Amino acid sequence: MGERAPLCVGIDPHAALLADWGLPGDAGGLERFGRTVVESLADRVAAFKPQVAFFERLGSRGLAALERVLADARAAGALVITDAKRGDIGSTMTAYAESFLTPDAPLSSDALTVSPYLGFGSLAPAVDLAERHGRGLFVLASTSNPEGAEVQHAVGADGRTVAETVLDRLAAHNAGAEPWGSLGAVVGATLPPLGDPAAAISERALTAVNGPLLAPGLGAQGAGASDLPRVFGASLRQVVPTVSRDVLRAGPDAAALRAAAERWAGEVRAVLDGATP
């Protein structure tokens, strides 16, 4: 983020975006879309976040397109956070983790989004594999979709919300890591401000994570860079802000894509520069 720009750009080939770009909705269109985003932005953003579902829907041809997009991103030196939200138990969780976190896997990525809602301990195979290969995980904690509150805001017997319990488990794992641990949290940029009773998480829990906080919700979902300090407080410098459609719809022109990404990066950088070190 320091060397390039403090921004993660999603690679989400929605059918409407493909049409706007003049691309077909087949595997070739997905590949052209993803590789154009990477080619245009890989030297100036910190990370990409491809959404696996848009590629999986076309079966093996779609996944082959994703493989080539990931290979381009890796070759260009950009980090890849693959958004697959995997969550299962035992050998199945191991297989999911092997798909994305082993160096020789066709879909090898720097980090993977995972769901802890079969119990945080169910993520152990992914945690172990990520640590073995120097990769990371972003664990769903308090997400940007309103439906998430049904589970994530539920309060346990100890008075903590489910979301805060997830953050505390991450904090325990990352304790003592320098500069950060490799387990991060997904915390939506559209959430209520810290201190609001609807926030369901505290500033204490966020700062204690001692890991990166992936923040979706910028742009089309309604959040702006100016919302980040209200949502993240003292943990602002841990935030990896993510924007997708607000950059992607500027394509397919490479210069327009770069201008959109640079505009967002500038807004985020201005907010970070105003934060207390």
Output the CA torsion sign for 137, 197, 6, 51: positive
CA gap 117, 6 in Å, rounded = 29
Nearest to 113 by CA among 46, 50, 200: 50
CA distances in angstroms from 220 to 29, 190, 194, 248, 258, listed in the order given: 22, 11, 22, 11, 18
Nearest to 261 by CA among 9, 4, 1, 71: 9
β-bridge mates for residue 10, sequence order: 49
85 catalytic? Reply is yes
Give me the catalytic one of 85, 237, 245, 258: 85
Contact 225, 264 (CB under 8 A): yes
Q: Which long-range contacts (CB under 8 A, 24 or more apart) does 15-23 make?
A: 17/245, 17/248, 17/249, 17/251, 20/249, 21/251, 21/252, 22/252, 23/252
Report helix angle 59-75 to 27-41, nearest 10. Answer: 10
Q: Hey, which residues are catalytic here? A: 85
